[in-house]
Amino acid sequence: MQINRVFVNSYRAVCSAALNAEDLFKVVCTQKSGIKTSTTFYADKTVGIGIVKVDLEKSLLEEIGTVLKNSNLDNFEETLLVIGSSVGGMRLSEEKYFQDNSYKNINPALHVIDSISYKISQKYTFKDDLSFSTACTSSANALGYAYEVISKGVYKNVLVVGYDTLCKTTVGGFYALGVLSANRCKPFDKNRDGMNVAEGLGILLLQNKQIDTSVEFCGVGYSSDAFHMTQPNPEGAKKAMQNALTCKGLQPEDISYINAHGTGTKANDSSEISAIESLFGKSVPVSSTKSITGHTLGAAGALEAILSVVSLQKQIIMPNSNLEYPEAEGMNYVLKAEEKEINYILSNSFAFGGNNTSLLFGTIK
């Protein structure tokens, strides 16, 4: 039973395309990508990749400080911290290993998934913390959990952090799966050839009280289809979106826009667009922002939630960049930024193992 409404009251974003949320929304709308061709991680492997131009670990604490400064809070002592990350502190461990040619000096506290909350807790005091690692749905699930505990009256304030950095292990893992493109990815295009792995940071302060700039977090839908270790199932994606609609008692025609997971891989794109067409038909506007930001893995859900919130605040639908030859003809792919009345947005995140999460955001009613 829902006791409280849930509002997004502050947010910060850092990724390869921009160093703040306002600039990120602008580059998405003007289709200026942060993806660059790189051989940084493996000299014999050329990949399109999204590398942040600043120290992401330093930015993590700075951006949390900015959220606190911009909030109605004096501190975080009555706030729950929820982290979403796919790889945790793997980059630091990897750097230490190659530096020492040994694993013995790796600090376990800086390696595991809750290494991010460990770092944050060195500077800020939270009521408690929790970490999610569910691959590419990590921060979407963190946001879903935050929605649950606020709506049920367990917490009044929850700070959600989506965070992932890149390292050889991460890049090499996706390369071994054969899903990395050497160029900027092309979500939903017939000629797509893979994704762009990237790093990023997304922070959202969720509260049970509305402020002037609030966007409502209206619900979350989950599914776990367990269809295949890496291949998605359209029915799982469809179920997650259906469950999100149920939270607010909405019908498919109530959705103004879908911010798709849209990675640019053949398996994901065809599965997701099939699920969208099955539930919504072909008229709902759809786009993916990953040709601009890259796929930021565990941070993707948080970053795309922020973009959805800004989209609602500005009443502008974001375009699907780098789309020339749509695979599914007749779908309403957004090809350029469009001013339009937007009431509700679904933001999708899907992960290996059939873990699917769909977040529902809306204007204040």
Helix axes 90-100, 168-176, angle to 10 degrees: 110
**Do the bridges between strand 338-339 and strand 316-317 make them parallel or antiparallel, or are there none, so unpaired?**
antiparallel
The closest alpha carbon to 307, from 6, 9, 13, belongs to 13
In the numeric block, the tokens 């979407």 are attached to 140
| C-alpha distances in Å from residue 97, one per residue of 101, 212, 301 | 5, 49, 30
* Sequence-ordered list of residues with C-beta below 8 angstroms from that of 24, at least 6 positions apart, any chain: 13, 15, 17, 18, 293, 303, 306, 307
Contact between residue 344 and residue 248 where contact means Cβ atoms under 8 Å apart: yes
Tokens of 327: 């695979």
In which residue are the tokens 């008692």 written?
A: 249
- Tokens linked to 326: 């749509």
218 labelled catalytic? no
Contacts of 74 (CB under 8 A, 6+ apart): none
Does 29 qualify as catalytic in the annotation? Answer: no
90 contacts 57 by C-beta, under 8 angstroms = no
Distance CA 151, CA 208 (A): 7
- CA dist 253 → 223, 242, 285, 319, 361 (Å): 21, 12, 11, 20, 15
Catalytic residue among 15, 29, 247, 295: 295
- Residue tagged active-site, from 15, 29, 136, 185: 136
Rounded to a whole number of angstroms, the CA Rg of the chain reads: 19
Q: What is the DSSP letter of 46?
A: -
Q: Is 185 a catalytic residue?
A: no
Residue tagged active-site, from 15, 29, 247, 261: 261
Beta bridge partners of 339: 316
Q: Which residues are catalytic?
A: 136, 261, 295
